Amino acid sequence: MSRIITVGAAQLGPIQKEHTRESVVERLIALLRQGAAAGCDLVVFPELALTTFFPRWFVDDITTADHWYERSMPSPVTQPLFDTARELGVGFCLGYAELTDDGHRFNTQILVEKDGSVVAKYRKVHIPGHEHHEPDRPFQHAERYYFEPSMEGFGVWKAFGGRVGMMICNDRRWPETYRVMGLKGVEMILCGYNTPIHYVPDPSQDILQGFHNALVMQSGAYQNGTWVVGVAKGGVEEGVDSLGQSMIVAPSGQIVAQALTTDDELIFARCDLDWCARYKGTLFDFDRYRRPEVYGNITAQRGVILD
């Protein structure tokens, strides 16, 4: 017996400031239809997939940025995506900026089943970048101004015949992200990202963006015996070049599919969830080999404490 999810990673090319939500939803629907034609059960879209990556601009009054956020999901503009999913019998995962009724702002991702119903919501935990305007930068990365970090942590949900978890962009660089989900038996982690190639605090990392992207997702997959689906919004958006290289990684840590462009592009793979057990039951048999009694620092402290 094998448990197969055919998953599509629906990479997006840039979304410019003047592009309407309606035009973006049309692009998402076109990718969803490609996914259906390829036999996908589930199609994964990037982080903040409905708009340009607006944290690259700072505004003094955050309410003037409210138009970048979604107040409901589905919304009138996104409803056609949900309707198409139900019509095609294909689920999806979508990242967007969320503004709650009580004024909280999250970087959010939802998992939608094949019948168009929302089965899970994840709000980004690791918020990178800066809180204040930094005028000397060529572009801002003010996620810490626009989003609060979620206190809900990392969920794993029974969906698509397996155990599915979610993370968003910078979360993928932190081993704790994968491990918390690994401890909940995750079999497939879905991750949207927007990664500028130019890393302003240390430009020597620019040429390593692709390497680091693969490194963290491949090691997270292998060390936790899980599939990882990483999906970019890539290309030159408002003058900022962003990494593509969307990929589907097996529990072995091997890349089984990778995007070739930085445009709208669907890649897909037939993912056998039972492959996870080969790693979870042997080298990474957590119950047998982990030593939580000596891992206390991991949850007890945030930064480095020197003796």
Q: Would you tell me which residues interact with ligand CDT (CB under 6 A)?
A: 47, 128-129, 141, 169-170, 173, 193-195
Q: Which residues contact 299 (CB under 8 A, 6 or more apart)?
A: none
The catalytic position among 70, 93, 113, 124 is: 124
Least Å from the CB of residue 55 to ligand CDT: 8
Is residue 86 within 8 A of residue 57, CB to CB? The reply is no
Choose, from 93, 169, 191, 271, the residue flagged as catalytic: 169
- Which H helix or E strand runs over 165? strand 162-168
- Could you tell me the smallest distance in angstroms from the CB atom of residue 284 to ligand CDT? 25
Among residues 47, 70, 98, 187, the one annotated as catalytic is: 47
Q: Which is nearer to ligand CDT, 196 or 251 (CB)?
A: 196
The identity of residue 146, as a single letter, is Y
The secondary structure of residue 150, as a DSSP letter, is P
The residues, ordered by sequence, that sit 6+ positions from 3 with a Cβ below 8 Å of its Cβ are 161, 162, 272, 273, 274
- Least Å distance between CB 12 and ligand CDT? 14
Instruction: Identify whether 124 is a catalytic site residue.
Output: yes
Nearer to ligand CDT, 133 or 158 (CB): 133
Of 78 and 170, the one with the shorter C-beta distance to ligand CDT is 170
Number of Cβ within a 10 Å radius of residue 178:
26
Nearer to ligand CDT, 84 or 150 (CB): 150
Residue for token pair 């004024």:
103
Least distance (Å) between residue 198 CB and ligand CDT: 10
Note if 233 is an active site residue. no
**176 flagged as catalytic:** no
Q: CA-to-CA distance for 225 and 276, rounded, in angstroms? A: 5
- Which of these, 283, 138, 144, 131, lies nearest to 200 by C-alpha position? 138
* Residues with active-site annotation: 47, 124, 169
